[in-house]
Amino acid sequence: MPEAQADAPHDAAPLLQVQGVTLAFGGVRALTDVGFAVAPGSITAVIGPNGAGKTSLFNTISGFYRPAEGSIRFKGQEITRIPAPKRARMGLGRSFQNIALFRGMTVLDNIKLGRHAHLKTNVLDALLYVGRARREEAELRREIEERIIDFLEIDHIRHAPVAALSYGLQKRVEMARALAMQPEILMLDEPVAGMNREETEDMARFILDVRAEWGVTVLMVEHDMGMVMDLSDHVVVLNFGQVIAQGTPAVVQADPEVARAYLGAGDVQALRRKLRAVGVAGRKAA
């Protein structure tokens, strides 16, 4: 597993701030009084057992769900009532737990769709493919081919239909589409779920590099605890829709509540042994 970069500065104003967010579906609460902050330039991970509310939290931050209570601020601006497409234009780009690509389209066309929210071409220009439409298309293709495709090492599949790709490559294409949105925060929902160890290593390297080389802040939901503890500056732990712990990976690993959530008992040493086993298995497989 690649080693994380130096910790992000903690004295800077939060890039994203979630305060007292409560989300309910009928009489069922998915989130209760959730609060945490994401520092600029950091990698922040949200973890928790299945059903803890992680994807519901992501959907609330990105605008697919509207919370019953609480607020979400991005770059100091209240965005709780702003619709999802506008949040994307503001700089919140995301991938999805279940791959949401257009399987019949090529890799290049799927990635280009990520920039749709930023295009300024009017309907007539787009239909005639003249003027601004042609210029925007040329600029977009040049950036995608020279920067994003090269960065994610997918040049060899740029013209391939998504349906023909392996699962790991499809996850990489989805990350490419999110990067095409020009995000300030890249939200990754289980970026290595279902991947083998080699694919996981590659994705971990890309996450570190997008922070280091592009200056993009990363917020991710992930179940791979070895990767989370290796990469993250800050970890937020959810259980039954509530934050039960947060802090550096070392602080979270030492919290008995986290051990109880994952193991059913407050045995911190057992949790640490489990995490070490994950790391050792990963290194052997690599």
Q: Are residues 194 and 285 in the same domain?
A: yes
Copy the structure tokens of residue 66.
């509207």
Boundaries of domain holding 120: 99-182
- pTM (2 decimals)? 0.81
Distance CA 22, CA 31 (A): 5
Beta bridge partners of 187: 94, 219
Beta strand spans in the chain (E): 16-25, 28-38, 43-47, 69-74, 77-78, 92-94, 185-189, 217-221, 234-239, 242-247
pLDDT along the chain (286 residues), means of 10: 49 91 93 97 94 94 95 96 92 79 84 64 44 62 78 91 90 89 92 89 94 95 90 95 94 88 63 58 45
283: left (phi over 0), alpha (psi -120 to 50) or beta: alpha
The domain that contains 67 carries what CATH number? 3.40.50.300
Residue 240 and residue 280 in one domain = yes
Strands (E) located in 110-247:
185-189, 217-221, 234-239, 242-247
pLDDT of 42: 97
The residue among 255, 259, 232, 236 whose CA lies nearest residue 246 is 236
134, 152, 182: which is the final residue of a domain?
A: 182
Number of domains in the chain: 2
Same domain, 34 and 73: yes
